[in-house]
Amino acid sequence: MNKNNLQLENNINRDFIDNKILKKYEKNIQKIFQNIIEEINEPKKTLNVLSQKYEFNFKFKDLKNFKNFKKIAFIGMGGSILGAEAISSFLGKSEKRNFYFFDNIDEKKISNFKKKENLKKILFLIISKSGNTIETLANVSTLNILKKNAKNIIVITERKNSLLYSLKKKFNLFYVEHKNFIGGRYSVLSEVGIIPAYLMGKNIYKLRSEIRLFLKGKLALILKDSSIKLASILKKNFIHDLILVSYIPEIEKFLYWCQQLIAESLGKKNKGFLPVVSTAPKDHHSLLQLYLDGPKNKLFYIFSLENKLKNNQKIQKKNNQKKLLNNKNLLNIKTAQKEALIKVFKKKKISFREFKIKKTDEEILGKLFSYFMIETVIIAKLLKLNPFDQPAVEQVKTYTKKFLS
């Protein structure tokens, strides 16, 4: 893939690909791809979120007053908050605003937050598709922020009989409906991610501007080819671990969004990758030995930034005792380490995919969101898996409620 500011190169060991399965998937791919395009164009399908004609359940003018808040706290779990965290991290936070993310149960974090902050001056965005997410409800209750007619709370949840929707009605809170046909991990380009992006001051139109880029031309061919190969690998369980290697600090939260997308969509019927986020070059000094000389059951996704940063830090000669660092900056060092890793991967025939990013802006992030969503759905359909459910997770939720009752 090479579309100016985003490039993808596949380097997958042929030993991991079953040619018979590959040929079978090559016959099926066009029908599946056409089916996905139809789902994108159909209003009440999950993938409709990728349509340029997607209709939001709110008007931006109704959110205008909320943009006056300088501090925003996001409360949610999984797909209800990972997208917002990815947007904030990838695009950078505004100097005029501070963002807080409550994406887990953390007693100390909440206690310190309540002591330090004036909660009346903070905008709270509470997101739960089901409206019954225990951790989200517990955090809201512990923060003790619900007040009648509160002007600093936005609730996004399904319009149905749930605890959160009942609280919304009881306290008369500002409400945006969460569409019931869009699951959390596919919701980042819907109200669930676009409202946070808007409140953060990001360009939401650019974020959604090129999300259909991979549905035509050469990029569609690359998407199909990649999906077929990955599905073939999963079919035979040749590879178990998917290591998401980040040489870009800003992209790590996006990779955690990817982690959920891939794990919940494909981890079914004894199939699936175990996605693990790995920070480079830090992990060169802890995990690299295993990566290079451990079990050959891993596929690596390498993410790197290819542009010249405006504020890239140069190494000062007076503090430099090694000539090899002369006239270098920190990006030069990371690039050299990445190229060295790829060199050894090729030498050892370790499979990897490389994603080269030219800059961190809304268009690139929108492309990344849409590419991984479409690729994941194609792989699932080739494997005859439902990419949109998570039945095993529901079992744990059921037992949790029993233990609490």
pLDDT in tens, 130-161: 999 999 999 999 999 999 999 999 999 999 99
Q: What is the dihedral of CA 179, 181, 186, 189, to 10 degrees?
A: -40
Matching fold, domains 6-36+211-390 and 60-207: yes
Region 197-221 average pLDDT: 90
Q: What's the confidence (pLDDT) of residue 321?
A: 56
Region 287-291 average pLDDT: 97
Provide, rounded to the nearest whole percent, the portion of the chain with pLDDT above 70: 94
- Asked if pLDDT for residue 6 goes beyond 90, the answer is no
Q: What's the confidence (pLDDT) of residue 300?
A: 97
Region 39-63 average pLDDT: 94
- CA 157 to chain CA centroid, Å, is 20
Q: What's the confidence (pLDDT) of residue 217?
A: 85
Element (H, E) at 242: strand 241-246
- Domain-wise residue ranges, the chain: 6-36+211-390, 60-207
- Asked if pLDDT for residue 126 goes beyond 70, the answer is yes
DSSP labels, 303-346: EEE-S--TTPPBPPGGG---GGGTT-BHHHHHHHHHHHHHHHHH
Region 354-372 average pLDDT: 94
Q: What's domain 60-207's architecture? A: 3-Layer(aba) Sandwich (3.40)
- Residue given tokens 């937050």 in the structure block: 113
Give the SS3 label for residue 286.
Answer: coil
pLDDT in tens, 68-107: 999 999 999 999 999 999 999 999 877 688 999 999 999 9
pLDDT in tens, 290-343: 999 999 999 999 999 887 555 566 665 655 556 667 677 888 889 999 999 999
Q: What's the confidence (pLDDT) of residue 320?
A: 52
pLDDT in tens, 52-75: 999 999 999 999 999 999 999 999
CATH topology for 6-36+211-390? Rossmann fold (3.40.50)
Region 257-283 average pLDDT: 96
Q: What's the confidence (pLDDT) of residue 323?
A: 66
- Asked if pLDDT for residue 24 goes beyond 90, the answer is yes
- Residue given tokens 């891993």 in the structure block: 298
Q: What's the confidence (pLDDT) of residue 257?
A: 98
Q: What's the confidence (pLDDT) of residue 5?
A: 79
What is the chain's mean pLDDT, rounded?
Answer: 92
Q: What's the confidence (pLDDT) of residue 354?
A: 96
